[in-house]
Structure 1
Amino acid sequence: MDIQDSSEYNEQPLMLPPSPGTFVDREELIQHVGEFAVSQGYVVTIKQSKRDRVVVLGCDRGGVYRNRRKPVDESSSECSRRRKTGSRLTNCPFEVVGKKDDGLWVLSVKNGTHNHEPLKDITEHPSARRFNEKEVLLIKEMTDAGLKPRQILKRLRQSNPELLSTPKHVYNVKAKLRQGNMTVRNYKSLRPQKSAVRNNYLSVMEPSWRQRNPPRVPNLIGGRFVDSQSFASIDVINPATQQIVSQVPLTTNEEFRAAIFAAKRAFPLWRNTPITSRQRIMFKFQELIRRDIDKLALNVTHEHGKTLKDAYSDVLCGLEVVEHACGLASLQIGEFVPNVSNGVDSYSIREPLGVCAGICSFDFPAVIPLWMFPVAVTCGNTFILKPSEMDPGAAVLLAELAVEAGLPNGVLNILHGTNDIINAICDDDNIKAISFVGTSTAGAYIYARASAKGKRIQCNIGAKNHAVVMADASVDATLNALATAGFGGAGQKCMAFSTIIFVGGFTPWYHVSLSLAFIYSTF
């Protein structure tokens, strides 16, 4: 083995820092950094904090060991009897900073490097021996009942065999509770049950929105899927079984501002990213859609109710738009005309607008989001997507694939809700353009409200197809086509026709009309 190969073999595993982002409050920021650090094989602590303004988090192995004992002559007997002390501190330079800006907490990485190896198993760390809030409450109750620490620990291990704490830790908790130095409410735990795997971007602990039953659909803000702080939600119903598939939160105003802030913050860097680099992400995105098309189609069927075959068509139609976005480089070319007048050249360039938004209808849960954000972000814009509250799952799955494909944090954000979020999108001055698909009434309202703010807006509204039947049309083929086109998806889609025009007279098609009437009465 040569020297180069040996150096590559002995290279230390990389411990990644958390990505910069925005958070609703200080506690959410600290929790995110802590969970991400555990997934990378290190632990963070609070180094400095001004509660309402800034918090500095560093690696727990930062700093140096200071021997505060009096120096002793090495030749003396006292020196030989003294226990040799060790320290985990390596003066690790890792440091991230959270600052409050305009009501939101912004995370930035001051130094993302470490000078030590990651933990092979996070349970080796002392913090893994802490108790969680529920266990602290049980310790308090059992202490009041007169149980001793070993008895308390034995009962705790009956409910959690993986508990690593010792009687000493129970003594410490009892002492702090007795002295009033610790309350159950603010006592935070860190006891993951999995080994820390380097370069794992997923949190060790399942996010709260996945733990609920039924699951609660998350927002995507600044590259993170987060559970909304709102207590209000809407049930997503499977039309076939009438069972609750998931719950959609009504996003709060603070979360809306956080998403706008994240999109606005990501725009300068994203617009300066070469178009070829943005295209590569779309190439990867369409590859991931093909990989997970079964999962996407099944979600559309469960939430919307259309047949599985129709759901596949929904995803494939949207995939065509992503494929189109893969070739946008040639469409971004401007124009140049020299000497249009004496000493005057004329040229035009295409530039991204900034933060754009999309408001989706429920009839095509996959294709409508794919109409909107792939083209917008490939052109250099950042995007706020509001899926339909009736079937938001496909949009969230697509967002997960977009993030996996490499879309940077803040470029795509997803917010759920109803009228309040739509009004906020129309009124916010940071949003430069809006795309909407839906009913005529809603489209007219959105167009009037958004255009009054000077936004660019396109509204695809009130679509209803018409069928034209020629005199020489095949009866059987026509009947099958009319039934499918008129009643596919129970007729609840913009392409379902409501009018049939017979060219050459209606009489030859009288029996067809009777068949259609029968279909109308039995569907």
Structure 2
Amino acid sequence: MPIQQKTKALSHFINGTKMEGTSGCFSAVYNPSTGEIIAQVPLASKEEVRLAIQLAKTAFPAWKKTSIGKRIEVLHRFRQLLVARQDELIQVICEESGKTFEDAKGEIIRGIESVDMAIGAPQLLKGEYSVNVGGDINAFSAKAPLGVVATIAPFNFPVMVPLAISSMAIAVGNAVILKPSERVPHSALLLSEFWKEAGLPDGIWTVINGDKEAVNELLENKEIQAISFVGSTPVAEYIYHTGTKHNKRVAAFGGGKNFMIVMPDANLEQTANAFLGAAYGAASQRCMAISGAIVVGKDTEERLTKVLKEKIVNLKIGCYKDPTIDFGPVISQQAKDLIIQYIDGAVAEGANLVIDGRNPSICETSKGFYLGPTLINHVTPDMQIFKEEVFGPARIILGVETLQEAIDLINNHELGNGVTMFTRSGRAARKFQEEIEVGMVGINVPIPIPVGYHNFGGWKRSKFGEGHMFGPDQARFFTKAKTISERWPDEAENTTSSFAFPSNSDTTLH
């Protein structure tokens, strides 16, 4: 769609200052709640990305040599700004993503958890030391930052994900280049202001706005040492294979098909309430959102469907400015159209519409990208809506006869991000947690996303690479280890050459 001339043009953030784009290419930024264009974001050329990388590379050595204590002081000040200016950040998140105020606030709180984890980096950077491993030799290890690293963030968490995949990288001494989603650029630019005010040296935090051209330059440029990505599975796989082909360390987090197993002994009132928030919160635009319920037992399936139907019809959608809404719009008209295609396809394949959200009443008064909550049952594993991630408020119900059948359905699915189970049986819960092949598991927990000091990451095609988001593994991902063996011989000591392979019986190390 052509960009209105009156909309403001945004910038990049390079070497500590806002820089206007020079490529001449722009993308429209929408307010999903109104359907209006609110800005135009520049799409960086390869040359602009290369300049940003070079400036980050120039800034890196000084930051690497900065003491860990001084680096952590910057993170402390950055955290204080996140708290002090959270209302401003919430407003930006809501306007460009359509989230509710409470949802945006929750995102910021989870992002701060990542900063807290990064503030604890000194504990994670400590090496090991061994005295007299042989021949008066001491051995020790040290961790060093990688250099310039890149993070590519999605639209659905414009603050939490950038903080989760960059805070530790900065704390351990790297220079970070963030490529945010071109749909939500305002949040990244506001974070840039916070980093600047906190005292982060110029060039250590960079924001490059762009599309695939910018991403490919980050993936292929030899100066980029590592890539972290959050987004859809097809793109995550592309990021992983392209990045590793160019000898980069890559952690690429893809999509999820996150099921809630409901056992016959579950409290259905509690289960239904948990399902509503976990399934429809943020218009279901979360990689950890519950995609559907796999219900054990026909009677339980019927009862849960009835309870859910009664509750879903009372959910309210609308603009984030209305404090009474439960969730807002999806991110774009294209996203809305795709979700409707999934719903139409499920009906054509024989599924049953329990609640149809394709024509919510708000669409009559707003041009926003709204979809009401949709619930579909009589779904089977061969249907497209079961196989693929649906990034919007269309959720499904499947009925099975046994817990084992439910576990097998999930284990056979190509995605393995998150899964949860509602039951009162410890024995069933133990079987579930031991046998399920999914990276993040919940028991009577609606969304099993770990807190910031535990590692986050799915299995199978939900994650590519060995890195994690959140948790102590981030320090490992963004550093490289060096092992030193040292000996200080007496000046009067007589030594001779040895051609044997060194061992701990040697008096010297050759």
So what's the TM-score if we normalise by structure 2?
A: 0.59
The equivalent of 1:486 in structure 2 is 279
The equivalent of 2:124 in structure 1 is 331
Alignment of 1:454-469 (within 5 A): 454-469=247-262
Is 1:448 the counterpart of 2:238? The answer is no
Contact 1:303–1:391 (Cα < 8 Å) also in 2: yes
The equivalent of 1:508 in structure 2 is 300
Is the partner of 1:350 in helix, strand or coil? strand
Per the TM alignment, residue 520 of structure 1 is displaced from its structure 2 partner at its CA by 5.1
The equivalent of 1:133 in structure 2 is none
The equivalent of 2:180 in structure 1 is 387
Distance 1:335 1:506, change over 3 A: farther
Of stretches 230-239 and 464-473 in structure 1, the one that deviates more from structure 2 is 464-473
> What is the count of residue pairs matched by the alignment?
311
Q: Distance in 1 between matches of 2:120 and 2:20?
A: 35
Of stretches 378-387 and 483-492 in structure 1, the one that deviates more from structure 2 is 483-492
Q: Structure 2: give runs of 5+ residues left out of the alignment.
A: 310-352, 358-371, 374-510
Q: Distance in 1 between matches of 2:68 and 2:356?
A: 50
Distance 1:496 1:520, change over 3 A: farther
Is 1:230 the counterpart of 2:23? The answer is yes
Q: Distance in 2 between matches of 1:369 and 1:506?
A: 43
Q: Read off the aligned partner of 2:182 and give its amino acid letter.
A: E
Is 1:246 the counterpart of 2:46? The answer is no
Is the partner of 1:254 in helix, strand or coil? helix
Higher RCO (C-alpha 8 Å, min separation 6): 2
Q: Distance in 2 between matches of 1:507 and 1:342?
A: 73
Q: Distance in 1 between matches of 2:239 and 2:187?
A: 24
Contact 1:334–1:350 (Cα < 8 Å) also in 2: yes
Q: Distance in 2 between matches of 1:404 and 1:213?
A: 30
Q: Read off the aligned partner of 2:28 and give its amino acid letter.
A: D
Distance 1:489 1:341, change over 3 A: same
Contact 1:465–1:499 (Cα < 8 Å) also in 2: yes
Is the partner of 1:399 in helix, strand or coil? helix
Is 1:356 the counterpart of 2:143? The answer is no
Q: Read off the aligned partner of 2:161 and give its amino acid letter.
A: I
Q: Distance in 1 between matches of 2:203 and 2:355?
A: 48
Q: Distance in 1 between matches of 2:299 and 2:130?
A: 61
Per the TM alignment, residue 313 of structure 1 is displaced from its structure 2 partner at its CA by 0.7
The equivalent of 1:162 in structure 2 is none
In the alignment, which of 296, 304, 307 is matched to residue 100 of structure 2?
307
Q: Read off the aligned partner of 2:299 and give its amino acid letter.
A: T
Contact 1:245–1:302 (Cα < 8 Å) also in 2: no
Q: Structure 1: give runs of 5+ residues left out of the alignment.
A: 1-211
The equivalent of 2:49 in structure 1 is 256
Percentage of identical aligned residues: 37
Deviations 1:76-127 (A, max 9, x none): xxxxxxxxxxxxxxxxxxxxxxxxxxxxxxxxxxxxxxxxxxxxxxxxxxxx
Per the TM alignment, residue 379 of structure 1 is displaced from its structure 2 partner at its CA by 0.4
Per the TM alignment, residue 361 of structure 1 is displaced from its structure 2 partner at its CA by 1.0
Q: Distance in 2 between matches of 1:510 and 1:334?
A: 57
Contact 1:337–1:347 (Cα < 8 Å) also in 2: yes
Is the partner of 2:301 in helix, strand or coil? helix
Is 1:218 the counterpart of 2:218? The answer is no
Is 1:413 the counterpart of 2:219? The answer is no
Q: Distance in 1 between matches of 2:226 and 2:284?
A: 31
In the alignment, which of 278, 284, 292 is matched to residue 77 of structure 2?
284
Larger C-alpha radius of gyration, 1 or 2?
1
Q: Distance in 1 between matches of 2:16 and 2:117?
A: 24
The equivalent of 1:346 in structure 2 is 139
In the alignment, which of 362, 374, 378 is matched to residue 171 of structure 2?
378
So what's the TM-score if we normalise by structure 1?
A: 0.58
Q: Read off the aligned partner of 1:363 and give its amino acid letter.
A: N
Contact 2:279–2:292 (Cα < 8 Å) also in 1: no
